[in-house]
Structure 1
Amino acid sequence: MKAVIQNEFGDVNVLSYTDVDTPTIGDNEVLIKVSYTSVNYADIKKRVGNKGKGTFPLMLGLDISGVVKEVSPNSTFSVGDRVIAFPKNGSYAEYVVANEKLVFKIPDSLPFDQAAAMPTVSFLSYILLHEIGQVKKSDTIVIHSAGGGVGTMLIQLAKIAGVHKIIGTVGTLDKESYVKKLGADVVCTYETFTEKVLKETNNLGANVIFDSVAGEVTSRSLDCLAFYGTLVQFGNSSGEAGTIKTSDVHSSCRNIKGFSLGTTRELNPARLRPIAEKVIELFALNKVSIPIAQVFNLNDAALAHKLIESRNYKGKVLIKI
């Protein structure tokens, strides 16, 4: 089968479109013919080696949409099932293997491209909003990187939940109209959001802030987080760690909460099935959607990575297999 692999860490030139063996399934696994895979910022970090040592050849990719082609005995899935999944060893390939715990059926009404845009960002967003952030209707919330995949979903889910005020941050204001169309009430840049949040809340601060950027954005977030507020930290796309002091939380009764979908897939995959059911229903009923920024062919994976690195896109970037 065709796949994109790499044999070293580095820039996009390490990505190689080549022939590899079709994977074989084990117990409680399914073989899936891939229709689309999404490109996530985590792929960029893994490609360049931010996660440390790697086992080569390495295949990138977190999630896919496709059709089940082979099942193990007594499987709950059947050949021909339309599914989304988090594969075992990457997703930039014509066929992937996934553990049944991380495979979810989708209705015929849900197109494969929209389905492929869903898993990572929508599962993560739903958990962040409802379980980690525990957002209430009366809250004012801040969503950093509001024009990205997770930001796109968080805004829509917050709007459905009836959240009082949604403030989105962006790198440049050319994304302002896009983010407002999603449902944000206020849009500002990373340089101005602290002052804007305080102004919008009569200096009380935001109740919940969702931070996937880290670095200085974390420090600035703490400058505009309300008493009893929650900072939800779930990434560091800036490449820098945010600094948090004990004095930032104890006297102000504030929380710092962290969450990783990758860790949850590995250690507690059962937690994702009820989330999947809720999210898939929202998509099937057209209550939420993810704009597709651009679709690349598998042999153009390097171009997809360049677009992600440029940050000059809105929504999700996909690879069509």
Structure 2
Amino acid sequence: MKALQGVEGQVKWVEEPSPTCDVGQIRIRVAAAGLNRADLLQSAGLYPPPPGASQVLGLECSGVVSEVGPGSSWKIGDRVCALLAGGGMAQEVVVDARHALPVPEGLSLLEAAALPEVYSTAWLNLFQLAGLKPGEKVLLHAGASGVGSAAIQLCKAFGSPCWVTVGSSERLEYCQALGAQGGVVRTDGLDSLKSLGPFDVVLDPVGANYVESNLKLLALDGRWVLIGLMGGRKAELDLALVLGKRIQLLGSTLRSRDDQFKADLLSDLGQQVWPLFTERRLSPQLAKTFPIEEAQAAFTELASNQVSGKLVLVIDSSLV
């Protein structure tokens, strides 16, 4: 099979051995794969996959089941999307059958490729870890990103008003159209958020640059969920504010979680979130698609930090 590999900071469509399909697994003929910031880091040699995971890029994909291992209830021909530790940007991928979900009714395989990673991330961190409750106020940094776009919609669907920080006024308008109450353009500073807070939950992929602001903006018993380090890894932390406000700082990653954790997460997602796509209360924010032959252009575009929503690579155009 052919697959996308990161080679010296570039991505290349190369020949790779086909994986074997074992007990409890399914083989997916891949139609499309979502592009995530983790793919950028891996292609640059900065984020190796967990032990035992495929070296091929791609943390999510959509496609058609082409082989079913013993112990799985999926059937050949089922349309699915899957959460992966790697391997999605290939002509086929083998995955734990519990890590796949059906393509929501009414959605295309292209749209479905943009769902698993960002909705899993948003659901895990806001609702499972932070315990977000209806009516609580949320601050989403990088609100126009794939995860941010999913988080805005989930907050709206489950009754929690949210605000965002973004890179431009156009991206702020995009977030408000999705359901955000408002927010700020980061170059204008975060001080104006004080009048909108305090916030019960902060979802933070930025890290060091926003430490001081997060502590000031969080409410009593606030939860700060750190999911990335786009703004650096080291910062001073005023522990008096942490203590006085009883703030919980939660570091969270998904890719390295074990198979059972991911299976439980996908099961919860399938029950709580997936029906909302059919009801049109959630929608994939598919910004742009690229044929796999133009993968480098897609990686370059994502790296520009100008994308609102998700980029998707088309692997097999005959399926979409």
1:73 paired residue number = 70
| Separation in 2, partners of 1:239, 1:117 | 27
1:297 paired residue number = 291
Deviation track 1:223-259 (CA, whole Å, cap 9, x = no partner) reads 2212221111111223434553533311221111222
1:287 paired residue number = 281
Cα contact 1:41–1:237 (8 A) shared by 2 = no
Q: 1:232 aligns with which of 221, 225, 228?
A: 225
Deviation track 1:60-93 (CA, whole Å, cap 9, x = no partner) reads 1101111100111242111111111134641111
Judged with a 3 Å threshold, the aligned counterparts in structure 2 of structure 1 residues 215 and 109 are, in CA distance, closer, same or farther, namely same
SS in 2 for 1:178: helix
1:120 paired residue number = 117
| Separation in 2, partners of 1:57, 1:162 | 38
Cα contact 1:84–1:115 (8 A) shared by 2 = yes
2:3 paired residue number = 3
Mean Cα deviation higher: 169-178 or 304-313 = 169-178
SS in 2 for 1:70: strand
TM-score, structure 2 normalization: 0.90
Cα contact 1:4–1:299 (8 A) shared by 2 = no
| Separation in 1, partners of 2:5, 2:158 | 41
2:94 paired residue number = 97
SS in 1 for 2:256: helix
The code of the aligned residue for 1:234 comes to I
Give how far 1:158 is off: 0.8
The code of the aligned residue for 2:253 comes to S
Give how far 1:283 is off: 1.3
Cα contact 1:82–1:107 (8 A) shared by 2 = no
Cα contact 1:169–1:189 (8 A) shared by 2 = yes
| Separation in 2, partners of 1:52, 1:20 | 18
- 5+ residue gaps in structure 1? none
Give how far 1:277 is off: 2.9
Judged with a 3 Å threshold, the aligned counterparts in structure 2 of structure 1 residues 242 and 210 are, in CA distance, closer, same or farther, namely farther
Alignment RMSD (CA, Å) = 2.3
Judged with a 3 Å threshold, the aligned counterparts in structure 2 of structure 1 residues 3 and 178 are, in CA distance, closer, same or farther, namely same
- 5+ residue gaps in structure 2? 316-320
2:150 paired residue number = 153
Give how far 1:122 is off: 0.8
TM-score, structure 1 normalization: 0.90
Judged with a 3 Å threshold, the aligned counterparts in structure 2 of structure 1 residues 214 and 266 are, in CA distance, closer, same or farther, namely farther
Deviation track 1:184-240 (CA, whole Å, cap 9, x = no partner) reads 111202244532221224xxx222111011121233211221222111111122343
| Separation in 1, partners of 2:132, 2:54 | 42
Judged with a 3 Å threshold, the aligned counterparts in structure 2 of structure 1 residues 196 and 280 are, in CA distance, closer, same or farther, namely same
Cα contact 2:30–2:62 (8 A) shared by 1 = yes
| Separation in 2, partners of 1:263, 1:54 | 6
SS in 1 for 2:175: helix
Give how far 1:107 is off: 4.4
Judged with a 3 Å threshold, the aligned counterparts in structure 2 of structure 1 residues 41 and 234 are, in CA distance, closer, same or farther, namely same
| Separation in 2, partners of 1:107, 1:141 | 27
2:184 paired residue number = 188
Tell me whether 1:271 sits opposite 2:264 in the alignment: yes
Q: 1:19 aligns with which of 6, 15, 18?
A: 15
1:206 paired residue number = 199
SS in 2 for 1:219: helix
Instruction: Give percent identity, aligned residues only.
Output: 27
Cα contact 2:54–2:87 (8 A) shared by 1 = no
Judged with a 3 Å threshold, the aligned counterparts in structure 2 of structure 1 residues 54 and 87 are, in CA distance, closer, same or farther, namely closer
Judged with a 3 Å threshold, the aligned counterparts in structure 2 of structure 1 residues 259 and 50 are, in CA distance, closer, same or farther, namely same
| Separation in 1, partners of 2:248, 2:85 | 34
SS in 2 for 1:59: coil
The code of the aligned residue for 1:63 comes to E
Judged with a 3 Å threshold, the aligned counterparts in structure 2 of structure 1 residues 174 and 69 are, in CA distance, closer, same or farther, namely same
Cα contact 2:59–2:88 (8 A) shared by 1 = yes
Deviation track 1:5-50 (CA, whole Å, cap 9, x = no partner) reads 23x4x423xx111233332212211111001100000111111122
| Separation in 2, partners of 1:233, 1:189 | 20
SS in 2 for 1:23: coil
| Separation in 2, partners of 1:286, 1:112 | 16
The code of the aligned residue for 2:98 comes to K
Give how far 1:314 is off: 0.9
